[in-house]
Amino acid sequence: MNNRIDWVRRNCRLLASISEEFRVEQPFAGMTIGTGIHLEPKTVALILTLQDGGARLVSTGNLNTTQPAAMDYLGARGVTVIGQPTRDAAEHGTYLEKVIDEKPDIILDNGGDLFDRFLKKPYGNLKGGTEETTSGRMRLEPLRDELVMPILVINDSPIKQFAENEHAVGQSVLESYMRITNRVTNGQRVTVFGYGACGRGVARNFRAANAKVSVVEADPVKRLQAHLDGYDTPSRERAIASADLIVTVTGNGRVIGEADLPLLRDGAILANAGHFPVEIDAAAIAGSNAVTERVAYEDGVETLRLEDGRAIHLISEGHMFNLAGPRPLGNSIESMDLGFALQARCLEAVARGKVGAESCVVPVPRFIDEMVASSYLDLNYRAAA
């Protein structure tokens, strides 16, 4: 029987068509590409497409999202896979260092981890690479003067913004919430922290699932947008105090912390969909003196009993729960196929020298957005014809 990775690869049609071209053109011949991105079925499809382009691949995952089946699949196909699933940031750091020790010519980063390690142990042949996320861009922007090389930020492509962040993250967060908790959404009060591209999708999907959604957004302009989109935008305190479910998706640290415990309703559920497990300060909350009992359930939910009798439920210890939770599916295959087609084309542009050092931490070039959008539409209409 074929496994889920084969199903994903079969449905990553953009990557399949790029692979076909790469097998002939070999844009990465003689190069090593180091990757530090979740190891799961869709990234497997991307990594194997890069391998089809002639690259030697050295790959590790992100903290707490590595799937053993993805590691085995890649290992069996000649990719050098480093590390293992871990929740330990220090251990994960050693895996990132091992990727850098291989002196990749190009880096595919997700969260800025590999470029950060490169700056601590620089070497001569790095041509540049890509960064997948908002969080990584925020980390790399201040380092522009040290990283004098093309680094294309996939997240800042309009395609990534609407196809993945806005449409797919919201769907997958709702799907993960229902799968992990098996709880109702109808009539529930959901507070979404952050009304960026991801937050807009999360808010919209919970509203479509008949929840009463409030938004807390630091930027008054986006708060106005949320208001005009029909969401309640109460004060932070009121939004926390009224919530049955709080979802953080800001890219920022300590959005919800121990100091918020007195505000939370009995039975409130806390879930993070932002990239790093820092938005909900899970360690401080779980370690609070107010917590008298902790009960962990196998589906990734932990119940914290407080001294005044209230219960608070934490999903996946504050890790990005649509990918780090149990039996994760992540975002839809097609949304990731689009984003990863951008990745493959951007890495190709770096390998071929089509983008220079002036493109350090900049969005995907327009010609690549147009190429990927046209290919997706062509494949879609060809399939429908």
Where does this chain bind ligand NAD (CB under 6 A)?
133-135, 165, 169, 193-199, 216-219, 222, 249-252, 255, 273-275, 320, 322-323, 331
Tokens coding 230 = 């029909």
Q: How far is the CB of 281 from ligand NAD (least distance, A)?
A: 12
CA distance 263 to 368: 47
CA distance 202 to 176: 12
Residue 19 or 35 having the CB closest to ligand NAD: 35
Residue 51 or 130 having the CB closest to ligand NAD: 130
Tokens coding 27 = 């844009």
Q: How far is the CB of 179 from ligand NAD (least distance, A)?
A: 14
Which residue of the chain is nearest ligand NAD when measured via CB?
196
Residue 55 or 154 having the CB closest to ligand NAD: 154
Residue from 266, 271, 264 nearest 238 by CA? 264
Concatenating the DSSP letter of every residue in 217-238 gives: -SSHHHHHHHHHTT-B---HHH
Residue 225 or 303 having the CB closest to ligand NAD: 225
Residue bearing tokens 């975002």: 331
CA distances from 263 to 258, 260, 266, 317, 328 (A): 10, 5, 10, 20, 31
What is the number of H-type helices and E-type strands within the chain?
16, 14
Q: How far is the CB of 194 from ligand NAD (least distance, A)?
A: 3
Q: How far is the CB of 293 from ligand NAD (least distance, A)?
A: 29
Task: Encode burial over 217-233: b for 16+ CB neighbours within 10 A, e otherwise.
Answer: beeeebbebbeeeebbb
Residue 219 or 307 having the CB closest to ligand NAD: 219
Neighbours of 337 (CB within 10 A): 26
Q: How far is the CB of 12 from ligand NAD (least distance, A)?
A: 17
Q: How far is the CB of 92 from ligand NAD (least distance, A)?
A: 17
The torsion angles phi and psi of 236, rounded to 5 degrees, stand at -55, -45
CA distance 71 to 80: 9
Residue 219 or 308 having the CB closest to ligand NAD: 219
Q: How far is the CB of 152 from ligand NAD (least distance, A)?
A: 16
Q: How far is the CB of 158 from ligand NAD (least distance, A)?
A: 12
Q: How far is the CB of 228 from ligand NAD (least distance, A)?
A: 15
CA distance 299 to 323: 13
Residue 32 or 233 having the CB closest to ligand NAD: 233
Q: Which letter does DSSP use for residue 164 in this model?
A: I
Residue 19 or 165 having the CB closest to ligand NAD: 165
CA distance 352 to 232: 49
Instruction: Give the E-state strand segments of the chain in sequence order.
Output: 32-36, 56-60, 80-81, 106-109, 128-131, 151-153, 189-193, 212-216, 245-248, 268-272, 291-296, 301-306, 311-315, 360-363
Residue 54 or 257 having the CB closest to ligand NAD: 257
Residue bearing tokens 């957004």: 217
